[in-house]
Amino acid sequence: MSCSRRDFLKEAMGGTLASVMPLSAFVLLSPEEAKAAIDGSKVRWAFLVDTQKCTGCGLCVKACKTENEIPYDAPVTRTWVERYVITKDGETHIDSPLGGRDGYIDDKIRDEEIDPKNIDKAFFVPKLCNQCDNPPCVQVCPVGATYQTNDGVVLIDRNWCIGCGYCIMACPYGVRFFHPEQKVADKCNFCYHRITKGMQPACVECCSFGARRLANLEDPDDPVTKIITTERVAVLKDEYGTKPHVFYLGLDFNVR
Amino acid sequence: MKWHVLRPLWVAIGLVAAILVARLFLVPDDFGIHGRNFTYGFYRLSNVQEWKDFPVKYQGRETCVECHEENVQSLNNSPHAAVECENCHGPGVNHPDVVELLPIDTTRELCLRCHASLGYPHSAREQAPQISNRMHKRRRECSECHNPHKPQGDET
């Protein structure tokens, strides 16, 4: 068998190319998969909180705890409502007993009586997971138990979480907590089981005043998306660069 | 290479191989990069479906109206139209198959969530009629006098 130098180089080149080509390059995509790969996700969940409308009834917290099977009397909650009372002497009084689960029916704050005449302004601020675009809680997970879905919601894999608590430390908004029964990290996921069925999150459904609303930022016709894109909305702790996706209308600078 | 160098090397290689084999069995097949990148999208894919399958508890007014049309109608025509049925009646999951009667919350504390006056100026709380918890019919249940489905009329 004879082999010229030219043939040898040709064959060797082809063989090298064939060997470095990964097998995955030959996977055939169905038309749906190909379309999905090009278009990406057509859903990006976000949230709009109108602090001007919140009355501090706490029914959202009650509904959330029931819907998501969070122990009712444990001092942990996926969403909570904070009360801010700013008095004329410049003091800011903040409280959130049990996350506002039982509503605010007493004007005492931390057993302190405040004369209504001394109040400059008082308001309620609901808080929940911001479903950040750069979630620090996901970055720190050592086992890949928490992640961002393609529609922007950050989820926790309860079978995979080892309960180390890094994510609870990493979240600048303090929305993560240790689930006392599941023994894993837990947090709000916009009621993922509801929104993926076309329902509203439990807190949105139970809010009588329209203070909480869900939006799909990828849908320009979504009325809530229109508010977020056209009106003056604020986010919490913008300086952390987490790109939070819970937007607030009427947010006061005293809110941290 | 000398024997005393080679021996621990084999042990190290064996350990690495053992870990790789164990990993092959322990890590689920669908664990990998499914999101936009390794940092945010490295996870077990079937977990997304597990969350979607989480049971829904609050059914919504659309479900209530299927059987309780009259009650929903009376509520819709009242100032309480914005209040969800399940805020007072509790989540409608498994009703009426397993939970025949939903426990109705008729406590004073439930009404006070919106109707207790806190004296906050410019707070949304003031939209709803306000009472002073300490002055107005202390320790009585609101529903003794007020019908939650018709809070402004038919008071007994």
Domain range annotation of chain A: 5-39, 45-132+188-249
Domain range summary for chain B, segments of one domain joined by +: 3-52, 61-144
Q: Which residues of B touch A123 (CB under 8 A)?
A: 120, 122-124
Give the pLDDT of residue B109: 94
Q: Identify the bridge partners of residue A237 per DSSP, sorted by sequence position.
A: none
Please provide the average confidence, as pLDDT, over all residues in chain B. 90
Give Cβ neighbours of residue A121 (< 8 Å, ≥ 6 apart): A84, A85, A86, A252, B120, B121, B122
Give the pLDDT of residue B156: 43
Task: For residue A192, give both structure tokens.
Answer: 């993922």
Of A160, A188, A171, residue with least CA distance to A45 = A188
Chain B from 27 to 66: CB within 8 A of any A CB: 31, 34-36, 39-44, 47-48, 50-58, 60
Q: Which of B43, B119, B128 sits opposite A157 (nearest CB)?
A: B43
Low-confidence ranges of chain B (pLDDT < 70): 153-156
- Digit-coded pLDDT (tens) for A48-73: 999 999 999 999 999 999 999 999 99
- A58 and chain B in contact, CB less than 8 A: yes
A67 and B58: CB-CB below 8 Å? Answer: yes
Of B83, B57, B49, B109, residue with least CA distance to A157 = B49
Q: What's the whole-number mean pLDDT along residues A206-226?
A: 95
Distance CA A220, CA A223 (A): 8
Res A91 pLDDT > 70:
yes
- Digit-coded pLDDT (tens) for B16-42: 999 999 999 999 999 999 988 999 999
Residue of A nearest to B80 (CA): A208
B128 and A55: CB-CB below 8 Å? Answer: yes
Give the pLDDT of residue B125: 86
For domain A45-132+188-249, which CATH number applies: 1.10.3720.10, 3.90.1150.10, 3.30.70.20, 3.40.640.10? 3.30.70.20
Q: pLDDT grade, residue A228 (50/70/90)?
A: very high
Give the pLDDT of residue B34: 92
End-to-end CA distance of chain B: 100
- Digit-coded pLDDT (tens) for A149-197: 999 999 999 999 999 999 999 999 999 999 999 999 999 999 999 999 9
Give the pLDDT of residue A247: 97
For the ranges A65-74, A80-89, A106-115, which has the lowest average pLDDT?
A106-115
Distance CA A251, CA A234 (A): 7
B116 and A104: CB-CB below 8 Å? Answer: yes
- A54 and chain B in contact, CB less than 8 A: yes
